[in-house]
Structures are given as C-alpha cells and as structure tokens.
A and B are shown apart, each in its own frame.
Chain A
C-alpha cells in the first residue's frame, strides 16, 4: 500500500482560478470606489485651503499621498472584505455543509491546504495589484474633480502629483496591502471552513467574516501607522 502524493498542478489551477475570481471580479468596485474617494478628497482639500496662502498645486500632492499611504490600501481592503471575504466564507461554508469538504477528505486530499492556501496566495498576489490600481484611480478621480470643477488648473494638479515624492510611501502602501489581504482571506477561510448547521449559520459566518476582517484591518492599519511612520 502506498500513499499517492497530491499533484501540485491542481494547487496551481485552483490558485489561478482564485486570482481571476478576486482580481477580475473586483476591478469595477475598486475602480469606482477609488475614483470617488480621490475626487472627494480633492474637493474637500480645495475647500479647506480656501483663500489661504498654501499653493494650489498642493491639492495634487495631498491627493497622491493620502491615496498611496492610507486610502488605497485601507479602502480597497475594506471593500474587498465585503466582497471577497463574504464570498470565500460562503463558498467554503457551502462546501462544508454540502459535504464537499468531507468528499475531498475521504479521497485523501489535504483539505486545509487545498482549500485555503490557493486563496491566500491568490489574495497576496492580486490584492496588492488592486491597491496600486486604486491609488491611480484615486488620483485620476482627484484630477477630474479639480479640473472639471475649475478648482485648480490641469498643470497645477500635475505639478502637485510630481512634488515631494517619497518612494518609501509606496512600500508603506504595499506592506499594508499584504497585511490586510492576509487578514481578510485567512479570517474568511476560517469562518467558512468551520461552519456547522444550515443556511442561517452560513449567513452568519459570511457576516462575521466581513465584520471581523473590517475590525482587524482597521486595527492593523493603526498599528502599522505607528510602526511605519
């Protein structure tokens, strides 16, 4: 008697499926959220500047840095906790209740590895990319709001985007993205994997996944802010 090892290719296949699921599936919501956040940030900052002596191009600078340092990673991951996190919890919970996890187990598949690892790897790869996209969309939103609303000229906004750039902030953004991505997938996997009972428990697990992820992301954001700045 011998134990047949599991095929890595199946893990890879599942990982790519998850990447597509998380990535393509979240493009629209992340794009939309980011454009509006960037626009609102720009408008509000312009309002606060009022007729002060701070140069107008600062609006571009502020929108860029606030998107990169805080809003892109945090808002993206809060939105993804709602979308991806609840999805993961519901998928795994449904598999648990319909005995699909048992079926894998009886075949000899390492269920925790096969069901959880691809999701975490996919999230750690795709979410940091989504966060970059979010930062760009946020700046585009700010640019549009400012120029359409006539708050600042195109040239001034672009000047601001290029001013005082510190590459370290990009690191900060990506570190946050990694940490938040790990938090939201592992919490959601846990909530789904250990579901018992019926559809009420499944709904509850899905909600818990979102709520707990959100709280921990905000907590981690606070801690990272203390460590990284």
Chain B
C-alpha cells in the first residue's frame, strides 16, 4: 500500500499540486485520471522520488519514503517497476537485453537462469520471437510490452505506469490494460496508473483518483462512475459529444 499525505508541488509560481492525500491499494489498479497538464505525471514522479514534492509525505507501508536518503531509497526502488509514457527502452540494447537489464544489474543469477526468467516474462507479456530486435524496430504496442516486461522482471511490489495506452489504437490499448490488471491481481502488486483514457477508467478503474486544477476532485471505483453526479467527473468522462449522446440515450431508455 502507498499513502500520500498533503502532497504539494510548485514549479516557480505555478502550483501544480495543491495538497493531495489519497491511498493506493495493494492488488488493485489504482488510477490517477485528469486532463492533459493536470499534474498526473508530476504526481507519479513524486511517488517514485524522481521529483521532490514541495511539501507532503509519501508512505510505502510504514516507511516514510520522503524522509529517506538516496541510499535508503534504493532499497525500496528495487521493489518498484515503472512503465514510462514513451516506454523509455534503452536504444542501444535489444528487446531481450532491455528486459534482462535489471537481472544483469542487480542479481547473481546464472546465464541460464536469466534466460529462463526473461523468456518467461516475455511470454507473460505475450511477446515471444522479438528477442533480438531493437526498440526502434518494434511497434509502439510492443515497446509498451517490453517496458512492462522490464518493469516486472524483478517481481516488484509496486508498479507505476504513465499513460500506458497513449499513442496506441483502441484494441492494443485494451490489451495492455488487461495485461496490467492481470499482472497486478496475480502478483498482488500495488499498481498506480496515470491515464486520461475513458476506456481504461471503465475497464480497470479499481480505485480512481480524479485530479483537477491541482486538487483531488473525486475518488471512487469504476462501478460508481456512471451513476455519480460529481460534475467534474461527468465533464471528464463524458467529454466527447458522442459519449454524451450515448449517456442521454441510456437515460431516456431508463426513464421511459
């Protein structure tokens, strides 16, 4: 479980986060949603310590992560995996080398053991047969899969995903969401996902945090999204005229 307490972040005189407190639960896909520029990436990077909050505390279980020094943070970091918005694969390494990198860097496994682990993980993200290709030679969806494989190969307790389906077509997008949800449930990971994708919200929103103008505007589950009357939530979810018409049609049917 990760808990954040009154997190504030200011860049110059721009207040990006204005005191956010919430909980990200274990074994669930916890979502941070909000419009572009709402501060989702900043919030995720504060969670993993890539950005220092102006004030506030990030708790990993009972550990005050914000009070740790670099060395102490490393201990928690070996339990983290992160999928970046652009996948952030290492260009000079093949798919296999990218996925194996954390093993090479941090474990004493033999070559054979690593091979087995890499193959198993690539299979888990449904990506076999591309081992020797380079990141620039595979599609965006495949890059995300490689990124997920690299993030989960050390069996992390915490998984962070920054817009896992940005730049993907709807079908691929759904598959990536499904993959993250299943891995989260199977391994009982605390997963935090940034997204502004409607589909993701409805499909994998176990615990949804809507961020608006630097504040937490709504918290709930995907089951509550349709019926909740929160205006900011409704504005966000039904942003497109198409979805508004669907909603209105559904309401007409209900009332008839």
Residues of A within 8 A of B124 (CB): none
Given A99-B84, A102-B84: A108 touches B92 (CB 8 Å cut-off): no
Given A1-B76, A102-B50: A109 touches B82 (CB 8 Å cut-off): no
The reply to whether B78 and A4 contact each other, CB–CB distance below 8 Å, is yes
**Nearest neighbor of A11 in chain B, beta-carbon distance:** B105
Residues of B within 8 A of A2 (CB): 75
Residues of A within 8 A of B90 (CB): 95, 100, 103
How many angstroms from the CA of A228 to the CA of B160 in the assembled complex? 56
How many angstroms from the CA of A3 to the CA of B107 in the assembled complex? 11
Given A105-B50, A106-B82, A107-B102: A3 touches B75 (CB 8 Å cut-off): yes
Residues of A within 8 A of B86 (CB): 98-99
Given A102-B88, A103-B84, A106-B82: A7 touches B75 (CB 8 Å cut-off): no
Given A17-B92, A99-B84, A103-B82: A6 touches B105 (CB 8 Å cut-off): yes
Sort chain B's interface into a size bin.
20 to 34
**Nearest neighbor of A108 in chain B, beta-carbon distance:** B77
**Nearest neighbor of B85 in chain A, beta-carbon distance:** A99
**Nearest neighbor of A5 in chain B, beta-carbon distance:** B106
B71 close to A (CB within 8 Å): yes
How many angstroms from the CA of A4 to the CA of B73 in the assembled complex? 11
Q: Which A residues have a C-beta under 8 Å from some C-beta of B?
A: 1-7, 9-10, 17, 94-95, 98-100, 102-103, 105-109
Task: Pull 21 A–B residue pairs with CB atoms less than 8 Å apart, ordered by A.
Answer: A1-B76, A3-B72, A3-B78, A4-B78, A4-B107, A7-B104, A7-B105, A7-B106, A10-B104, A94-B91, A95-B90, A98-B86, A100-B88, A102-B88, A103-B84, A105-B50, A106-B48, A106-B77, A106-B160, A107-B77, A107-B106
